[in-house]
Amino acid sequence: MAASSLFSERDLHFSANDFQTIRTLIYQRAGIVLAEHKKDMVYSRVGRLVRARGLTRFADYLAGLEASGQGVEWQAFVNALTTNLTSFFRESHHFPVLAEHVRGRRDPVRVWSAAASTGEEPYSIVMTLLETLGEHANVEVLATDIDTEALDRARRAVYPLEQVARLDDQRMRRFFQKGSGARAGYARVKPALVAKVRFQVMNLVARDWPSEHRFDAIFCRNVMIYFDRETQTRVLGRLADRLKPDGLLFAGHSENVSYLSDRFRSRGQTVYSLA
């Protein structure tokens, strides 16, 4: 079968060349490496954008995308290919380490959630900080993500009850408001907690990062797995520059940061400090 032929009989024309173009574009824009086995995922996610524009060929959609240069079309494309798998207190062993790391501090405590997704991670961080330092502690969590739709959901701070069901009753009462009437079945993070989080769209592979203070801790979990080795090393070097000298970096369960960068040393299970 020719390289440009269809992968399967589908309602949209999707060729091998289309898939390769998408792989190139998302790598250039977001550093994401799409493996060959991601073809069906790409067809499903980007296909929704093709249909929404009244088109039947991926090639026509991609030509229009490349001609648009910047703006909402590109953001929708990136959003479609970003994976948002998260939950409250995911990889739960990290949060007691964070609590012990900040315990007793009086200075402003700043933590960066570098792949904030729909907000569960940054809100889990704030809960941990307030439980450790007290309700009126001077804390701030910077929550960034490349996916604007995910960040919009994070800002709304409203979640189905089943997503918060694993939290204990004390945390539910302290940090959430259960909905009633038309909002039954949902829980909202209390405004006082939301106020501790600052949301910002950010591309980790962009040339320029916003100027920030150094952080007591950075959570950059399950992000490096989408990058190639060169991008991993470059991003980790820039993360190291944003940590305080005694700061901690929290990585994902399958990410070995000290193997990827000599600027970090292991401090436990996927927890790192500067070397």
Known active-site residue 145: yes
User: Which entry of 18, 23, 110, 145 is annotated as an active-site residue?
Assistant: 145
Give the list of residues 6+ apart from residue 2 with CB closer than 8 angstroms, or none.
none
Q: What is the CA radius of gyration of the chain?
A: 20
d(CA 162, CA 164): 5
User: Considering only CA atoms, which of 91, 193, 206, 92 is closest in space to residue 136?
Assistant: 193
What 3-state DSSP class applies to 68? Answer: helix
For this structure, is 173 an active site residue?
Answer: no
- What is the rounded CA–CA span in Å between residue 83 and residue 75? 14
Distance between CA atoms of 98 and 168, rounded to whole angstroms?
Answer: 19
In the set 45, 153, 188, 234, the catalytic residue is 45
| Residues whose CB is less than 8 angstroms from the CB of residue 104 and which lie 6 or more positions away in sequence, other chains included | none
Residues tagged active-site: 45, 145
